[in-house]
Structure 1
Amino acid sequence: MLRSDRSFRVLRRAVGTIGAGALITLSTTPCAVADGSGAGLVLGTIAPINGVQPGNTFEAPVTFGSPGTQALEKVWLRYTVTQGLDYADVPSNCVRWDIGSYDELPARSQMTCEFDQAVEPGVVYAPEKLTLKALDRALYDDLDVAVGDYDFGPDEGAHGPVRGTAPAAKLVERPGSVLTGSSSGNPGYAEARVRVNSVNTADYQVSGARLEGRVGDTVDLQVKFTNAGPAWVLVEPGPPVPTRVLIKIPSGTTAVKAPGCKKPAAGTYDCFIAQGWVEEGQVNTYSFKLKIDKAVAGAKGSVALIAESRPYDVNKANDKADILLDVEGSGSTGGSGSAGGSGSTGGGGTTGGSGTTGSSSATGSSGSASTTGGDLAATGSGPALPLAGTAAAVVAAGAGTVLLVRRRAARR
C-alpha cells in the first residue's frame, strides 16, 4: 500500500464526518461497479437502519464484489462503529481495536476480518456471522464499512488489537446479484457509512438556583445543563439537538464574572456545547459572580434550553428553571417558583471561582462562547438556531477537521 493512498483514505473519512451528504452509503441493491479494468472492489448501498432496540443484536446487509477480470486471493473487511454500538462476537479471523476521541470525532471501535478465500469477478458476496448489537446508550450511531484487497490496518489512535475467539466468519455468495453503479475511485479499496437509529431517549435538563444577599454583595451563581440519558446523542449528522443554553440573570444584578458565552443582550448569556456529541451523564456547569446592585421587586432570572426539535427528549418539564434572588433587608424576593436546584450564596467580598467549569463526564465540554448571531428571546424559549448559523458552524468544523487530517497525512 502506498502511503499516499492511505493518506487519501484518512482524509476522505474525516471529510465524511462533516455531513451525510458527502458519504457513500450501503444497500441491499446490487453492488457498485468499478471502471471495468483490472481488479476492483465495490460496496452495495442500503438505507439507514431504523428501529433498533437497545440490547438487541442486528446484522447490516453488507454486500460487495469485484467487477474486474481477475480473482482476488483474499480480502479484508472492516466495521467501525460509534460508541452506542458494539459487536455481538468477534470471530477468530478478526481483530478488534478501540479508538478514543480525537479531531472532533467521538470514541469508536473497529473490527477487521481477514477472509482467506477467493473473490471471483462478477460475483456478489456477503459476510457471515458479523453481528452487531445496540448498547443501552444507543440512539444515533454510525456504522462505517470498508473492504480492501490488502490489510489497511486500524485507524489512527487505535488501541489493541484483541484477537477474536468466536467461530471464524466466512463470505457467502449472493447468486443472481448483478454488479452495477460506480466505485470509490480506488480499485483496491471501497468504503461506506450508514446511520443506525435506535429507539431510545435522552433527557436533556437544566437546573437553576436560589440566591441570597444584600445590596452591594457579590454572590456565586452556578446553573447546569445535564444529559440524564440513558442515550448519548451524536449531533452531526442527524436530527437537530439543543446545543445551546440561554441564561438570564435576575434584574438588579450585574455579572462581574461570567462564563465564555455570547452575550446577545444585557444580562443574557447564550452558551453552547462545543463538541459534536453529548455523552449520557454529561454535566456542563456555567459559573457566574453576580453583584447585587439594587433590590428589584419580583426579580428573577432563568436558565433554559433553546427551543429546538428533540424527538428523543420526551420530558419537557425540566427544560427550564428559575434563578431566584432574595435581597435581605428589603423585603424583595425573586418569587416562589422552583429553581430546579440550589445555587451557592455569598456575602460581600466573596471570591469563589468563576467562569465555566468542565463537564463531569470524561469527554463532555464546558460552556463556551456561541459562534452564532441573531437576537434571542429573553425568556430562554426563543427561536431555533438560524439555519445559516448552523451551516456556517458545520462548514467551519469541517474545514478544521480537513486541515488536521491533512497535517496527519503530511507526516505520513
Structure 2
Amino acid sequence: MPRPPHRCRVSRTAVAALGAAGLIALGAAPPAIGDEPPGRVFVGGVGPLEDVKPESVLELPVTVVNKGASTVDEVWIKFTTTRGLDMTEVPANCRTQFVGAYDEMPERWIAVCRFRRTLKPGVVHTLERPFTVKTRAHAFDDEMWVSASNFDPGSDENNPPSPGNEPAVGLVEAPGGAEGTAEEVKLPVRAANTADYEVTGGALRGNVGDTVTMKGTFTNNGPAWVYHRPETKPALVRITFPAGTSVVRPDPSCRAEGEMYICGALGEKEHVQDTFAFKLRIDKKVPGAKGSLVLTGVPLPFDTHRANNAAPISLEITGSDTGAGPSSAALPIAGAAAAGAVVGAGAVLAVHRRRTRSPS
C-alpha cells in the first residue's frame, strides 16, 4: 500500500453545499424522490472478526444479491478499513485510496471494486477468490465497512486513487450462499494486542521566588493504536503540584479542578507523545513536597503494564528558604513599618500581595 499523502482536506459538509449550489446554477435538478435505481444490491457473507493476530491475513468471502425487481448490469463493492488494517493484495479491477481523518471519522483506506456482471433478482453471487486484508502490527480495536451498489460510489475529492496490483477478480454464482440483509455492513475487527500508556513527571529545582517550568508527558508506547470513537471517553491525566508552589501559567489544553489540573490524553496513535507544560512559582519551602501525574477517567483493559500509569513530580529548593530577588513576594510587614517611620508620622502604608501573572 502506498504511503498516506499529507494533504489539507476540504470539509465534506462544505463540498456537499457547493455541489448542491452547482446543480442549481447549472439548472440540473437532483433525482426525484420516487426515482429508484433499477436494483438494490445487498452484501453478505461476512461478520465480526474476533481475537485475530496482528500481522495476519484475513479473507473476506463477500456475497452480493440483487434485492430489486429488475436486472442489474454491473456491481460495485466498496471496502473501508481503519488504520490497523492494510490492503496489500488489491485486484486490478479495484482502486485504493487513503483518506485522512475529518468530521470525527478516523483516517482510513478505501478500495472500490467494479464487476461487469449481470445480476438477476434473487441470485446470490460471490467473489472468485476472497478479498483479503492484513492486520498491521498496531491493529487492535478496528473496524471495516463493506457496501455494495449498482453505481460507482465515487472517490474522495482530495486524494487521487491508485489501481490494484493483482490479477482482476470476478463474480460467480453461489447457490445457497448467504444473502445479505443490508447495502452496507460494519465489521468489528478485534486483534489480540495491547497498548502501554505511560506518563512521566519532572524534577523541579529552584529557589523560593523562582518561576520554573514543569513538563509532564503522556505516551502511547504501543504496540497497538486505540481507536477513539466520537462516543468514547478519553483517558485523563490528573496533575497535582508540590505543596508550596502555585501555577503561574497552565497548559492551555488542561483545566483547573480545585488544586489539581485535568488534561485530556487521547493516546490514539502508537508512539505519539503529548506534553503538558506549566509555569510554576516556588512560593515557599515545604519539606518533602511532591506532586504527581496519574492516568484516570476510564478503564484501560488493554494496558497490562500499569506501573507507569503514574509518575512523581519532585521539587528541590536551592539557596535560602525564604528566597529573594525580583520574583519574591512583596515587602514583609515588619519592613514596611520601619519604612513608614522614616517618611514621617501619620504616613499610611498599604501593603499589597503581588498578583499572580496572567497567562500570556
Distance in 2 (alpha carbons) for counterparts of 1:223 and 1:327:
20
Distance in 2 (alpha carbons) for counterparts of 1:87 and 1:178:
24
Distance in 2 (alpha carbons) for counterparts of 1:326 and 1:120:
79
Amino acid at match of 1:297: P
2:312 maps to 1:311: no
The residue that corresponds to 2:288 in the other structure is 298
8 A Cα contact 2:63 2:179, kept in partner: no
Q: 1:265 to 1:160 in 2, by over 3 A?
A: same
Q: 1:85 to 1:303 in 2, by over 3 A?
A: same
SS of structure 2 residue aligned to 1:317:
helix
The residue that corresponds to 2:190 in the other structure is 197
- Distance apart, 1:7 and its partner CA: 5.9
1:32-111 matches, cutoff 5 A: 39-44=39-44, 46-111=46-111
Larger-Rg structure: 2
8 A Cα contact 1:246 1:271, kept in partner: yes
Q: 1:212 to 1:116 in 2, by over 3 A?
A: same
The residue that corresponds to 1:337 in the other structure is none
Distance in 2 (alpha carbons) for counterparts of 1:194 and 1:156:
25
Q: CA RMSD in A?
A: 2.9
8 A Cα contact 1:241 1:310, kept in partner: no
> Number of matched residues?
294
Distance in 2 (alpha carbons) for counterparts of 1:143 and 1:179:
19
The residue that corresponds to 2:205 in the other structure is 212
The residue that corresponds to 2:244 in the other structure is 252
2:272 maps to 1:282: yes
8 A Cα contact 1:129 1:170, kept in partner: no
Amino acid at match of 1:291: R
Distance in 2 (alpha carbons) for counterparts of 1:255 and 1:45:
58
8 A Cα contact 1:244 1:273, kept in partner: yes
The residue that corresponds to 2:144 in the other structure is 143
Distance in 2 (alpha carbons) for counterparts of 1:61 and 1:248:
53
- Distance apart, 1:45 and its partner CA: 7.1
Write out per-residue CA displacement over residues 371-400 of structure 1, whole angstroms, 9 at most, x where no aligned residue.
xxxxxxxxxxxxxxxxxxxxxxxxxxxxxx
Q: 1:61 to 1:244 in 2, by over 3 A?
A: farther
Q: 1:316 to 1:290 in 2, by over 3 A?
A: same
Q: 1:60 to 1:180 in 2, by over 3 A?
A: closer
Q: 1:214 to 1:205 in 2, by over 3 A?
A: same
2:273 maps to 1:272: no
- Distance apart, 1:125 and its partner CA: 2.2
8 A Cα contact 2:43 2:179, kept in partner: no
The answer for unaligned runs of 5 or more in structure 1 is 1-5, 9-35, 184-189, 333-346, 356-412
8 A Cα contact 2:62 2:131, kept in partner: no
- Distance apart, 1:64 and its partner CA: 2.3
- 1:222 corresponds to which of 207, 211, 215: 215
- Distance apart, 1:141 and its partner CA: 1.2
Write out per-residue CA displacement over residues 289-337 of structure 1, whole angstroms, 9 at most, x where no aligned residue.
10001111211100011053222211101000000001124689xxxxx
Write out per-residue CA displacement over residues 103-140 of structure 1, whole angstroms, 9 at most, x where no aligned residue.
23221111111111112211122233410100111111
- Distance apart, 1:59 and its partner CA: 1.6
Q: 1:213 to 1:37 in 2, by over 3 A?
A: closer
8 A Cα contact 1:242 1:305, kept in partner: no
Amino acid at match of 1:243: A
Distance in 2 (alpha carbons) for counterparts of 1:99 and 1:348:
54
Q: 1:295 to 1:151 in 2, by over 3 A?
A: same
- Distance apart, 1:177 and its partner CA: 4.0
How does the TM-score come out when normalised to structure 1?
0.66
8 A Cα contact 2:208 2:321, kept in partner: no
The residue that corresponds to 1:114 in the other structure is 114
Distance in 1 (alpha carbons) for counterparts of 2:233 and 2:303:
9
Q: 1:170 to 1:293 in 2, by over 3 A?
A: same
How does the TM-score come out when normalised to structure 2?
0.74
- Distance apart, 1:166 and its partner CA: 0.6
8 A Cα contact 1:246 1:304, kept in partner: yes
Amino acid at match of 1:90: V
Q: 1:37 to 1:91 in 2, by over 3 A?
A: closer
- Distance apart, 1:82 and its partner CA: 1.0
Distance in 1 (alpha carbons) for counterparts of 2:153 and 2:37:
22
Distance in 2 (alpha carbons) for counterparts of 1:45 and 1:212:
63
Question: Which has the higher mean CA deviation after the structures are superposed, 42-51 or 320-329?
Answer: 42-51
The residue that corresponds to 1:233 in the other structure is 226
8 A Cα contact 1:123 1:178, kept in partner: no
- Distance apart, 1:228 and its partner CA: 0.8
